[in-house]
Structure 1
Amino acid sequence: MRAMYLCVLGCASLTYAATPPKATPPVAQVWMDLATYSGSMMPVGLGGMGGLLGGMFGGGKGGNVFGNTQTGQVGRWMDVTLSTRKNPNLQEGIQKVPAASQLALSLSLLSPQEGKPVPATEGDDEAAPAPEFQRPKGKILLYWGCGSEVRKGQPHVLDMATASMAEFAKVFQSRRATTRGAHSTLGRPIWPNKSDSRMISDGASLQGEHEFSGDGVPDGLKFSLDAQHDLMPAIDLKQRDEGQAVVFNWQAMPQARAWFMASMSMKNQDEMVFWSSSELPDTGFGLLDYQPNTAIDRWLKEKVLLPASSTECKAPKEAVGQGMLRIIAYGDELNLAYPPRPKDPKAVWNPQWAAKIRLKSMATSMMGMPAMQHAPDGEKSEKPKSPNAVDLLKGIFGM
């Protein structure tokens, strides 16, 4: 019986190995990440916390530098990466862009001079590295769901001094399906870069044809972006006090596929409070980033994400205090290839090129602090007594 079992495994392995692949990786690949950020900037004076919190709350280097689609710095950003298997050491590339981009019809893509090259066998669909978070101190309270009242069974409370890893995992549930987007590594030219760091103006549009060229890049690598896949508008997030709840409002956005909100605040010196708009427990750490369409659709059905038509969400006062709030509108991820994948699943597919375009719009705001007080027209809003923003964030991360 054991011999038969081993034979079955061995035969299966041999059969699989002998089966010819039905698809090969594209000769060339383009990644384009488009992001719009609005709201509050990161407080100055955070020292070593800047790198950790830059991707969570905003901030980052000034000017147009590669990676601004992740830093949260207020503005409209595009990161581009180009690669080709015919030239793993590609140093330069050209991207022709539509006249409406106001970027002089072409961008100069340059390879970084530092970093580790990506293995040629590495696939585009593999998961992107998860962000790292420091383990907080004290107690953590987790609330979730839109509504005026705290729901039964909430909050989940975690005492960091006594919590087991299982208890820690229960509170820090965080869905994430982010795959690789634009990235900076040797042999893959990027934009922006030191020689071309022009800003994208407020009135610019990326609608129209984009064409890529370079040594080893196949001819005809070009595609068009429509209005649905252009830079997304900024989120105009507002809040108002409704007694036992805080009401968050924003404008509808035709490009939004779904919405998600999450906040972090301090209840006191030793208690940190998380809240998210999800109907299921989730801190939001993994969701506040680009997500593929299939994952977004699944989480919409599970009511983890808010529908595209949403323009309001309430949170009970116990769940949100003086702290940081983030909201994301997910755009429609566009995946293109030439020639297109054959309808026949048995047909061999050898694409010459592929392109992945990811879109999002995010806003970051301080809750319960002067920057977020929206009084009715003609009335003056009183400035609430609030802790220093630096002390608040240092308290959250136990620094």
Structure 2
Amino acid sequence: MITRILVAAVAAAFSFAALAQAQQQVRPPIALYWMSVETSSGVGMGMGLPPGMSGMLPPGMAGGRRMKLDLDSSQAASGDPRAAHAVPPGLSMGQSLPLVTPRIERPAVRERDDGEPGFERPKGRMLIYWGCGEKVRAGQPVILDFANMAPQDVSRAFRSRAISRPRGPAPGRSRSYGTWPNQEDPRPVPANASLIGEHVISGNYSPGIRFTIGGRHDFMEAVAFEAVRKTAGDAYAVKWRPVSTATGYFATATGRGDGEADIVMWSSSEDQVMGQALMDYISPGEVGRLIREKVVMSPQTTECTVPAGIFKGEGSMLNFIAYGNELNLVHPQRPKDPKQVWEQVWAVKLRLKSTAMTMLAQSEATRRRAAPMHDTPGDRSPESAPERASEPAPQREADQPKPPSPADAVEEGVKALRGILRF
């Protein structure tokens, strides 16, 4: 009996402490800094391109390390806006990167010529499949006929999951803003770049920001595929080497169907979902939820079979993402006294992903060129450099996931169609 009373008392004490902390007054940070960091394998590693050919690919299809820096501040600049990010030597990009405030130019109003043709509905169909396995599952595909589609048809075809996506810095969202890369410094990130070390952000519209990044939040390993091969049942076996810091994986593929105007889309999700919406940075917490819902593959997964018979002919492209960790820092830390206002000065978010593309329906010559995956000497295991972190900053906008509405599905569908059909 006494034990039960003690347990109840301890539980009540924790409840009161949590309630007091929840009621603590919090003022959002003056400055918000986001680092979006990507490792891209491009298409060369998965397709077995001849030496030198990968350099001829468009920027979006070439591999490499990429980084986007965004600084947002509620303070106005004293004079012309200036800010810079002092980087560690391991990044191999000099002492600092300039964070430039972009010029906002209003686009000229274009009057339509009466003789100009109006919008024409695209012809053909979109066939949507999902799930890893040798054979197409019952109830598939979901078919969208472009010539006769209604809003409810688009909503049914382009089903999506509610995902919490915090709003980061962007032009016009706060009083001051700076970004990299930019017109002053458009340099690419070197292949051997590392984020490990001390980072300092300074400027005339932001408080000083200083933090350290350790190996756990360095550039992720590149995704490495085995050569894609057909199974005995004519499906496509896709296998990859585990990415050590990945929190989950997702794949989507696009190709042609039976008709010349038919487009086929497939995703690795166990449930119908629009794949393009998931090919972006997603927080580890959200990735964990999507794994439990069988939308995202677990970090232990190393293979997925694309069902037989859904893609026709050559040229089907598979897009792949390994979701990474996040680093969230706030200065100063939350006061222990719940009565004291938590006046945040700055907050930093570092988010990571590793992406790749590969062809499914390849010619035999291309398959012979594609070498099996193997460990590379340059792969690093996460280091244990210290990272000074506190509680994540409360976002300036509500981050709670909202159920997608039919209008959201229509908008998402239109974006996907524009990307595929180029209209």
Q: Is residue 309 of structure 2 the alignment partner of residue 318 of structure 1?
A: yes
Which of the residues 327, 337, 340 maps onto 1:334?
Answer: 327
CA distance in 2, matches of 1:141, 1:212: 48
Q: Is residue 39 of structure 2 the alignment partner of residue 36 of structure 1?
A: yes
CA distance in 2, matches of 1:199, 1:396: 27
Deviation string 1:108-159 (CA, Å, 9 cap, x unpaired) is: 222112258xxxxxxxxxxxxxxxxx98542221111111111122222233
Distance 1:169 1:204, change over 3 A: same
* Kept after mapping to 1: 8 A contact 2:30/2:207: yes
1:34 partner amino acid:
V
Identity %: 35
Deviation string 1:322-370 (CA, Å, 9 cap, x unpaired) is: 3221000111122211113456776532101001111111112333134
CA distance in 2, matches of 1:135, 1:307: 39
Which of the residues 327, 330, 346 maps onto 1:353?
Answer: 346
CA distance in 2, matches of 1:38, 1:298: 26
Counterpart position of 1:110: 100
Q: Pairwise mapping of residues 295-306 of structure 1 onto structure 2 (< 5 A)? A: 295-306=286-297
5+ residue gaps, structure 2, are 1-22, 45-56, 107-119, 372-416
Distance 1:394 1:95, change over 3 A: closer
SS at match of 1:169: helix
1:312 partner amino acid:
E
Counterpart position of 1:209: 198
State the Cα distance separating 1:394 from its structure 2 match: 9.9
CA distance in 2, matches of 1:226, 1:294: 20
CA distance in 1, matches of 2:159, 2:270: 13
SS at match of 2:222: coil
Counterpart position of 2:189: 200
* Kept after mapping to 2: 8 A contact 1:365/1:372: no
CA RMSD of superposed structures (Å): 3.2
2:225 partner amino acid:
L
State the Cα distance separating 1:26 from its structure 2 match: 0.4
Which of the residues 270, 273, 283 maps onto 1:282?
Answer: 273
* Kept after mapping to 2: 8 A contact 1:79/1:182: no
Higher relative contact order (Cα pairs below 8 Å, separated by 6+ residues):
2
CA distance in 1, matches of 2:273, 2:350: 27
1:74 partner amino acid:
G
CA distance in 2, matches of 1:324, 1:347: 55
Deviation string 1:151-180 (CA, Å, 9 cap, x unpaired) is: 122222233333432232111113354433
SS at match of 1:153: coil
CA distance in 2, matches of 1:177, 1:317: 34
Which of the residues 248, 251, 256 maps onto 1:258?
Answer: 248
Counterpart position of 1:82: 71
Which of the residues 215, 234, 251 maps onto 2:222?
Answer: 234
SS at match of 2:99: strand
5+ residue gaps, structure 1, are 1-19, 42-57, 61-70, 117-133, 379-392
Q: Tell me the TM-score normalized by structure 1.
A: 0.72
CA distance in 1, matches of 2:214, 2:95: 17
Deviation string 1:76-118 (CA, Å, 9 cap, x unpaired) is: 11111122222267621121111111122322222112258xx
Q: Tell me the TM-score normalized by structure 2.
A: 0.68
CA distance in 2, matches of 1:326, 1:174: 18
Which of the residues 67, 91, 98 maps onto 1:101?
Answer: 91
CA distance in 1, matches of 2:251, 2:304: 9
Distance 1:281 1:294, change over 3 A: same
CA distance in 2, matches of 1:303, 1:372: 36
State the Cα distance separating 1:308 from its structure 2 match: 0.9
Deviation string 1:283-334 (CA, Å, 9 cap, x unpaired) is: 2121011112332121111010000111111011223443221000111122
CA distance in 2, matches of 1:215, 1:377: 51
Distance 1:93 1:374, change over 3 A: same
> For structure 1, which segment, 30-39 or 301-310, has the greater mean C-alpha deviation from structure 2 after superposition?
30-39
1:24 partner amino acid:
R
Distance 1:91 1:377, change over 3 A: closer
Counterpart position of 1:369: 362
> For structure 1, which segment, 289-298 or 253-262, has the greater mean C-alpha deviation from structure 2 after superposition?
289-298
Distance 1:300 1:200, change over 3 A: same
SS at match of 2:290: helix
Q: Is residue 145 of structure 2 the alignment partner of residue 172 of structure 1?
A: no
> For structure 1, which segment, 193-202 or 291-300, has the greater mean C-alpha deviation from structure 2 after superposition?
193-202
Counterpart position of 2:134: 148
Distance 1:351 1:377, change over 3 A: closer
State the Cα distance separating 1:235 from its structure 2 match: 1.4
